[in-house]
Structure 1
Amino acid sequence: MIVESRRVFDTMPDRNVVSWTSMVRGNVQMGMLEEAEALFWQMPDKNVVSWTVMLGGLLQSGHFEDARDMFDMMPVKDVVAYTIMVSGYCEEGRLDEARELFDEMPKRNVVTWTSMVAGYTRNGRVDVARKLFEVIGAVILRP
């Protein structure tokens, strides 16, 4: 299916950021990270979604240093990009790096808070998870 998608993509007279990002995402989902990355760097225009798709692919493939380098290069970072990084680090047990990113986030949402709490819990740091959970109540439920 990805071969057919690529054939259609290659014959498109006009490609936009959505079509490019779709091809990158398809390659990421098929585990074809090298192809995804090659397409990503060929993209004439990238948006925060494009960057985040590639970032997620790198994290899923265990390329944490490359993901961090890409994250640092991102011209615009939104809460989704931060959350993907935080979740990726938590999944791998890299809680210090996750917390560093979490703390520098300009804005957090309930998903980001939950990712951090779950990360601490999964890695046996229930005491820290509980403290963070209590902070969530104060921050999110604040009148």
Structure 2
Amino acid sequence: MLGARNRVGLTDGQIRMCVEAWRFLCGRTPRLLDLSEAAQHGSRTRYDERRRVVILGADVLSGAGQSANARMSARACLAHELAHLLRAEIGFQRPLALPDAHLDEAETSVHASFLKHLSRQDREDLVEDARDRLIDWLAFPKE
């Protein structure tokens, strides 16, 4: 249900745009954005729990799908990953196994929707992404 996001490695200009968006989202508290995988085809934007850093990947850009996740802007995608980082900073322990990983991702998208500097469309896409992830969580086979 998440849809397809971009898979083509980012150009230097796209990477610069993402760095600017990241700085804007982080505000007065600078946080590292790992750019080492950004130009690689198929790379994933993600929060690295062990290193406590967000890694920029090709999928930071929206894709062709119709789902909220597929159409989410780079700024909304980065806000989602920043929300993972912020939740870790306050001591939140992420469940990494299914089905609870779906719930964590939904909560993170809702958290991100409250961050500053997001457009109304970004907020709506994040909330719709949370809804889709909650549906996945509810649909997961029960023990």
TM-score normalized with structure 1 length: 0.31
Larger radius of gyration: 1
Q: Whose RCO is larger (CA < 8 A, sep 6+)? A: 2
Name the structure where strand makes up a greater proportion of residues. 2
